[in-house]
Structure 1
């Protein structure tokens, strides 16, 4: 839903507190190819250690600049969910997820603006791209922008994100505003 709850409310659309009821049913989950959408811890850090990040692989940290720099270990609204270490994965560039939306409407910015945003940071469709944040929710938003709006062919989410990487003893960590 383009714009989320913000746009829904601004457009005066209906809301309810009524709980929906659905009939019981049987549903069989079909095999899902998570590998084309999801990156795992071992894959991400393997790419860092082998020097692939920055060449043919781009890591995009979509958290706030303060989280990326290591100034804070959790966003203020999640103060009880801090990581052991602040900072970011070495080589990751910081493009906060919210830069892809209009702050007034909550809707995605026009395609040409999105292209300028990402290409201006060196994020191009010829690279393998892995997004991450704290637990994957903001990273999934950027994944959607790159994969479905900009049609980049190779985009995945590291859904363990910084909650996993920032709590891993001995993991490579970078602090400050440089990748």
Structure 2
């Protein structure tokens, strides 16, 4: 793993060597929020993307104070190195990573390949309960420039590059959500006009690890994004687009990439906005 990637990614050997260090915190974030109860990497705490990261009343992510309370309760300090991982090529782990970046955490990384690579390698898992002493975590105000809101997206149609990271069937309007999800949330199917479709899943190898830099650059170059900086990514609820945000902003170094976390559940329910199929 080269030095630039080591800023954002660790591999399984690194976790074996450093996972028990006092200033390293492993955190599992899964689509299936019950998976952690079955087993997890030894020493990892859980963040539940539904219960912990979403506002309990309105559709939005938790505010600064709630993020501080969450990390304090999980035993995470501002000075800790946080290693996030999960199933399905780290899609919800990448979503949590984006939250950590939004609230200014100094050192947060993904375990390359997540649970999939860990299990394929036959590495051990534990079902032991994990708790850490509480902390007094202090988050920064939300970092500007990495989140896009609906009005900004609408204004940028035909301007900034908009990347739809959903499956081709979702992009074309054949389905509203991934095939294994309910299909009732957005009111219409389709995509934002002028968006290009670069499915998030194409950025990962069969073992769940990220493709190499040359392959990733070629993937986005084929979509006409090789010399573009101002990019908005979206999916259905913002988790897959957070994964693509990680690839573009962190691994490839695109300077202006924003995640539209309202994504198609919001946009597809708006009245009077343009839609293409």
TM-score range, shorter chain: 0.7 to 0.9
Structure 1 segment 1-179 matched on structure 2, within 5 A: 1-33=111-143, 35-48=144-157, 51-52=158-159, 57-79=160-182, 81-102=184-205, 104-175=206-277
Matched residue pairs, number? 167
Greater Cα offset, 90-99 or 166-175: 166-175
TM-score of the aligned structures, taking structure 1 as reference length: 0.88
Change in CA separation of 1:30 and 1:127 when aligned onto 2, cut-off 3 Å: closer
Q: Following the alignment from structure 2 to structure 1, what is the Cα–Cα distance between the partners of residues 135 and 115?
A: 29
CA RMSD of aligned residues (A): 1.4
Deviation at 1:157, TM superposition (A): 0.5
Distance in 1 (alpha carbons) for counterparts of 2:192 and 2:165? 12
| Deviation at residue 25 of structure 1 after TM alignment | 2.9
- Aligned-pair CA distance for 1:8: 1.0
* 8 Å contact kept, 2:175–2:183: no
Alpha-carbon distance in 2 for matches of 1:8, 1:170: 46
Return 5+ residue gaps in structure 1 as ranges.
none
CA distance in 2: counterparts of 1:124 and 1:164, whole angstroms: 28
Cα drift, residue 19 of structure 1: 2.1
Structure 2: state its 5+ residue gaps: 1-110
Provide the C-alpha distance between the structure 2 equivalents of 1:63 and 1:81, rounded to a whole number of angstroms.
Answer: 16
SS at match of 1:147: helix
Cα distance 1:12–1:139, how it changes in 2: closer, same or farther (>3 A)?
same
TM-score normalised to the size of structure 2?
0.58
